[in-house]
Structure 1
Amino acid sequence: MGLFYNFSVALFSALGSFLFGDSGIIGSVVSQQFNHFQSYFGFPGPNIVGAIVSTFAGGCFFGAAAAGWLASHIGRKRTIQLGALVAMLGCALQAGARNVSYLIVGRLIAGWAIGCLSMVVPLYQSEISPPHMRGFLTGLTQFMISIGFLVANWIGYGAQFIQGQAQWRVPLGVQIVPALMLFLGMFVLPFSPRWLVDQGRIDEARVVVQRLHGNNTNKEFIELEFAEMLEQIRYEKENYSTRFSDLWSTPPMLRRTLTGMGIQICTQFTGINVSSYFQPTLYAALGLSGHKILMITGINGALGAITTIIFIFFFLDRIGRKPPLVVGAVGMAVSLAVEAAINAKWGGVDSHNTAAQTAGVAFIIIFSALFFSTSFGPVSWVYQSEIFPMRIRAQGTAVCTCANWACNVLISQVAPIGMARISWRFYILFVLTNLVNALVVLFFFPETKGKSLEEMDAVFGDQIIPHALETKKTHNIGEVDEKSEV
């Protein structure tokens, strides 16, 4: 079946990431444009709004942590299905909320599911992808997050015109649909071939690799790729443990863990989720009001999705991981610095400076739809999913995703308070963090472009087994044994 089948599997599994983006509907729901939500919940202040938003991220933290164990023991495929089931429950509770506490519980449960999916979906995609396309196929995670936010934004735009409680119950409940599709669709998608090898199901794994990567002209590549996968995993199982402490037991493993956590922490400190969750508030601070706020939010989401798919398809696997991260971080810092200046001189809810409003909207869009969508957005999910060895990959990816959500909780809780109290100065914080991000990537992150998952040991300095794709031989463990005897 080959490339088209591989792409289809990666894209459909990314429905889990679509749910992540679709959960962004909360930004519209808690905005002032949703007057029925505001009146039903007693016009919640910044602290309550922050709790509603950040509780979801807190649930995501625990979901990502649990997914590490689940993905190792029941498999990547079944973990995705479990996450989809729990997502349906959480979304149903939100749609049926009777008070703020009820809503927060629903957000917490849905967050657990999305945290689980945010960890396991890119892991699954990376393990089914050939080396030369892993950036594109795993980058579909961010593309579907963008599509999810796009759908959420336009649902939010349309729902603001609904009268009554359906104005906010329908947007929160519609998330059940993609969760159900994901749960049912995963029954026909394959297990991760690397997980199958790890479980001793070698023949099944070989069939999956052939279906995913095989065509009429690359028989030798399939044999070498499968041999490399098989030998590396067998050697790890025979010679290494799978303890959680292995994540920092050696300098190369510690480097993997720190860079994986680092890229997710840097992603959060770009400021993207201030834009994603509170975008209507940012536009209101420029003096915009009415229905156009949610319309602009929807346009931004559409541009972000388009930019992401162009970037991951044409550029990510060609130019690598590091260059777009550095350029993106600097670009976001400049965009936010200009945004701060515009808000400082011409901003405010009573502003009527059309030129300043247009420029302010433009730089918010440039920040997220251009620079974030061509850097940390897709690259963060690709990078954390490809750097760990099989024996500890699920646990390592879980730790990195937990770092993401821990920072998300912090930022989403303090963002509404910070924007309310220090207004445009809040942008300056993320100008500085983006500049720090660029330096961290430049000096500490290794390049991983074009390497198979098994070849990451060479990148991080702990290679033992010669790689079949390099030696062009299907048996390389013997060379290790011979060296050991000498």
Structure 2
Amino acid sequence: MLDSYNARIAGNPYLVGTFACIGGALFGFDISSMSAILNNNAYAEQYGSPGPDAQGAIVASMPAGSLCGALIVSFLADRIGRKKSIILAGLIWIVGSILQCASVNRGMLVVGRVIAGVAVGIASAVVPVYQSELTPPAIRGRMVSFQQWAITWGILIQYFIGFGCSYLEGPKSFRIPWGLQMLPAVILSSGMLLFPESPRWLYDHHREEEALQLLADLHGKGNRSDPLVVLEYEEIKAQVEFERAEGAKSYMDLVKPGMIRRVHLGTSLQMWSQLSGMNIMMYYIVYVFEGAGITGRRANLVSSSINYVLNVVMTIPAIIFIDKWGRRPMLLVGMALMGTWLYLVGGLQARFGNWGLSESGDRIWLVEGNQAATNAIIACSYLFVCSFAITMGPVSWTYPAEIFPMRVRAKAVSFSTATNWTFNTALAFAVPPGLASIAWKTYFIFGTFNFAGWLHVFFMFPETAGRTLEEVEEIFAQGHKFAAWKIKREVGRRMAEQARESGKIDHKQHTYDHDGKVTPPQQTAV
């Protein structure tokens, strides 16, 4: 009966591709579990009113743990499987949440956040791999984009839990949100027991019959003789056998010829997503709006909540259209807009702000007595978040998961995600001191990062949307000879359409049309 139930689950690619995204929600829960209590008096009393350096260290402890979690993912994912790694991440998160909820000092809080961070690092690296190996290529971008959407939902839900609990008195105003954040991990770990393992991992561990049956459930409605099922099974078989012959079991595989450029693209995109400045608007939005001149703790929390609502809503168009718009246009437009909004925020702060004192008595750069400037800064902050949500946010998870061949995907995505957490850690620690010392110049720094990233994407990142994995391989097989800006999305689609119209499709390939419908392989010569 359980096998029959698992087969029905496997037959729904959207269910398979989205449930594991609860792992992404853990990251979102952690972000707003801190942002909602930064100006909480009970929190300040419990942990000794941490200053900019101390608060930066507390916030940075989570991404530091996530860095460790991301680096061990390839070992875990290859040894115990993608599915069990996600389950383990949920269990580790529960332990971290318990420690945070029960913490009585900064040290215990930091330990809890580090442990929870390990869980987030594991989930953030293994979930895109799991999704890419179980969902059809035609909806691969959409499925991986759900990871970003889950993050935004986690941020929003936990923020409103924290906002509601802010009306409570004493430590329970922050302990209750920290305790409730373990619930999605319970759902994730228990629910994943009903979901299938990656067929690629099953075959690699000598469970060939299970791998074939899973592929049949995923793409052949249970028919093991379906041409597409047979094709995918043979591709997995060839890739696994190649990996065994080459001994591809270490990170050194990522510096072999043909891999270095892809590793550079995957890691640098994750780097630019952090250097875009989104950390400021997520972790420290309370500080940003306080400096903009919003007075009153409740007014600040309400204004900040709009940021998180926009983050959720504006991710929806990206999920729907990411496979139609293409990766490059989304990145280029997003970076240009984000750089512009940050320059405007910095300029307004510089023109109308002065050093002053916050409501808690800390020295901050403050816009006072100018409601127009305050409104403009808030508007630019909202537009920045919208720009990130509809462009960089989803693409930063999708692109690394689709540019690597399957034999190194777990290691490569793990390494790319580790880059994300490396910069996340550094920025979480550096932003509070930066705002306290150089104030408005901080926004110019991140604005410049966006324009530098725009140049990098334009000259180095080829388009991958609308292409089969074989076409992606052909792009990178050219080495450094191709010009990234000349590779258009339509080329790959046009090649597939011409092949379908002529009926001459290589028996080693299958194609997907623009609407995601599968064209089975034809046994005719090219």
Instruction: Give the structure-2-normalised TM-score.
Output: 0.85
Moved more, 114-123 or 295-304: 295-304
Matched, 1:41 2:47: yes
- Mark the runs of 5 or more structure 1 residues left unpaired by the alignment: 480-486
Residue among 198, 204, 216 paired with 1:198? 204
Residue among 160, 164, 168 paired with 2:170? 164
Deviation string 1:90-138 (CA, Å, 9 cap, x unpaired) is 0110010010111011111111111111111111111111111000001
Cα displacement (A) at 1:61: 0.3
Deviation string 1:18-43 (CA, Å, 9 cap, x unpaired) is 011011124335422x1100111121
Residue among 77, 99, 103 paired with 1:93? 99
CA contact (8 A) 2:10 2:214 kept: no
Deviation string 1:412-450 (CA, Å, 9 cap, x unpaired) is 111000001111111000111000111111111122213
Task: State the partner residue of 1:357.
Answer: 374
- 5 Å-filtered alignment, 1:62-461, equals 62-214=68-220, 219-239=226-246, 241-250=248-257, 252-290=258-296, 291-313=298-320, 315-347=321-353, 348-349=365-366, 351-368=368-385, 370-453=386-469, 456-461=472-477
Moved more, 370-379 or 224-233: 224-233
Structure 2 CA distance for aligned equivalents of residues 400 and 342 of structure 1: 35
Structure 2 CA distance for aligned equivalents of residues 223 and 358 of structure 1: 59
CA contact (8 A) 1:320 1:447 kept: yes
Task: State the partner residue of 1:17.
Answer: 24
Cα displacement (A) at 1:351: 1.3
Matched, 1:468 2:509: yes
Structure 2 CA distance for aligned equivalents of residues 390 and 118 of structure 1: 18
- Mark the runs of 5 or more structure 2 residues left unpaired by the alignment: 1-7, 354-364, 480-505, 512-519
Structure 2 CA distance for aligned equivalents of residues 114 and 216 of structure 1: 34
CA contact (8 A) 1:224 1:473 kept: no
CA contact (8 A) 2:32 2:282 kept: no
Number of aligned residue pairs: 472
Cα displacement (A) at 1:3: 9.2
Structure 2 CA distance for aligned equivalents of residues 59 and 2 of structure 1: 33
Structure 2 CA distance for aligned equivalents of residues 455 and 188 of structure 1: 34
Cα displacement (A) at 1:311: 1.4
Structure 1 CA distance for aligned equivalents of residues 392 and 324 of structure 2: 16
Deviation string 1:192-242 (CA, Å, 9 cap, x unpaired) is 122222223222222222333345999444443443333333334334633
CA contact (8 A) 2:33 2:159 kept: no
Sort the Cα spacing of 1:172 and 1:474 in 2 relative to 1 into closer, same or farther, 3 A.
farther
CA contact (8 A) 2:69 2:119 kept: yes
Aligned partner of 1:469: which letter? H
Cα displacement (A) at 1:475: 12
Structure 1 CA distance for aligned equivalents of residues 20 and 475 of structure 2: 28
Structure 2 CA distance for aligned equivalents of residues 454 and 79 of structure 1: 28
Q: What SS is found at the alignment partner of 1:457?
A: helix
User: Taking CA–CA contacts closer than 8 Å with sequence separation of 6 or more, which of the two structures ends up with the larger relative contact order?
Assistant: 1
Structure 2 CA distance for aligned equivalents of residues 467 and 282 of structure 1: 54
Q: What SS is found at the alignment partner of 1:373?
A: helix
CA contact (8 A) 1:129 1:137 kept: yes
Structure 2 CA distance for aligned equivalents of residues 275 and 336 of structure 1: 11
Structure 2 CA distance for aligned equivalents of residues 227 and 2 of structure 1: 23
Sort the Cα spacing of 1:338 and 1:350 in 2 relative to 1 into closer, same or farther, 3 A.
closer
CA contact (8 A) 1:94 1:172 kept: yes
Cα displacement (A) at 1:11: 1.5
Aligned partner of 2:406: which letter? M
Cα displacement (A) at 1:73: 0.9
Sort the Cα spacing of 1:199 and 1:346 in 2 relative to 1 into closer, same or farther, 3 A.
same
CA contact (8 A) 2:137 2:468 kept: yes
CA contact (8 A) 1:196 1:202 kept: yes
Q: What SS is found at the alignment partner of 2:174?
A: helix
Cα displacement (A) at 1:469: 1.6
Q: What SS is found at the alignment partner of 1:259?
A: helix
Structure 2 CA distance for aligned equivalents of residues 248 and 240 of structure 1: 14
Aligned partner of 2:72: which letter? A
Aligned partner of 1:184: which letter? S
Q: What SS is found at the alignment partner of 2:72?
A: helix
Task: State the partner residue of 1:483.
Answer: none
Sort the Cα spacing of 1:467 and 1:381 in 2 relative to 1 into closer, same or farther, 3 A.
farther
Identity %: 35
Aligned partner of 1:16: which letter? G
Cα displacement (A) at 1:473: 5.8
RMSD: 2.4
Structure 2 CA distance for aligned equivalents of residues 3 and 365 of structure 1: 39
